[in-house]
Amino acid sequence: MQLKNDRYLRALLKQPVDRTPVWMMRQAGRYLPEYRATRAQAGDFMSLCKNPELACEVTLQPLRRYALDAAILFSDILTIPDAMGLGLYFGEGEGPKFQRPVRDFVDIANLPIPDPEQELRYVMDAVRTIRRELNGSVPLIGFSGSPWTLATYMVEGGSSKTFGTIKKMMFSEPEALHLLLDKLAQSVVLYLNAQIAAGAQSVMIFDTWGGVLTPRDYQEFSLGYMQQIVNGLTREADGRKVPVTLFTKNGGLWLEAIANTGCDALGLDWTINIGDAKARVGDKVALQGNMDPSILLGSPERIRQEVQMILDGFGQGTGHVFNLGHGITPDVDPERVSVFIDAVHAFSRTYHMN
- Residues of this chain that bind ligand CP3 (CB under 6 A): 25-30, 39, 45, 72, 74-78, 95-96, 143, 159, 206, 208, 327
Cβ at position 71, least distance to ligand CP3 in Å: 9
Distance of CA 352 to the CA centre of its chain: 26
Nearer to ligand CP3, 130 or 351 (CB): 130
Least distance in angstroms from the C-beta of 73 to ligand CP3? 6
Q: Whose Cβ is closer to ligand CP3: residue 282's or residue 325's?
A: 325
Minimum CB distance to ligand CP3, residue 172 (Å): 25
The CB-of-96 to ligand CP3 minimum distance in angstroms stands at: 5
Beta strand 286-291 pairing with 320-324: parallel
Nearer to ligand CP3, 245 or 261 (CB): 245
**How many whole angstroms separate alpha carbon 56 and alpha carbon 125?**
10
Q: How far, CA to CA in Å, does 55 sit from each of 25, 49, 50, 125?
A: 16, 6, 7, 10
Peptide bond into 193 cis (omega under 30): no
For 274, phi then psi, to 5°, come to -65, -30
| DSSP code per residue over 227-244 | HHHHHHS--EETTEE--E
Alpha-carbon span 14 to 29, nearest angstrom:
29
The count of residues in the chain is: 354
Q: Cα dist. 71→62, 161, 190, 201 in Å?
A: 9, 31, 22, 10
What's the closest the beta carbon of residue 62 comes to ligand CP3, in angstroms?
8
Give backbone dihedrals phi and psi of 192, rounded to 5 degrees, phi first.
-70, -40
Report the C-alpha gap between 129 and 152 in whole angstroms.
Answer: 31
* Binding positions for substrate: 26-30, 76, 153, 208, 326
Please, what is the minimum distance in Å from the beta carbon of residue 322 to ligand CP3?
A: 15
What CA–CA distances, in Å, run from 312 to 20, 170, 200, 233, 236?
12, 42, 31, 34, 32
Q: Of 14 and 68, which has the nearer Cβ to ligand CP3?
A: 68
Catalytic residues: 26, 30, 39, 76, 153
Q: Least Å distance between CB 35 and ligand CP3? A: 7
Distances (CA, A) of 287 to 6, 14, 15, 26, 315: 16, 10, 13, 18, 12
Dihedral angle computed from the Cα positions of residues 226, 228, 229 and 231, in that order, rounded to the nearest 10 degrees:
120
Residues in the annotated binding site:
26-30, 76, 153, 208, 326
β 140-145/202-207 pair status: parallel
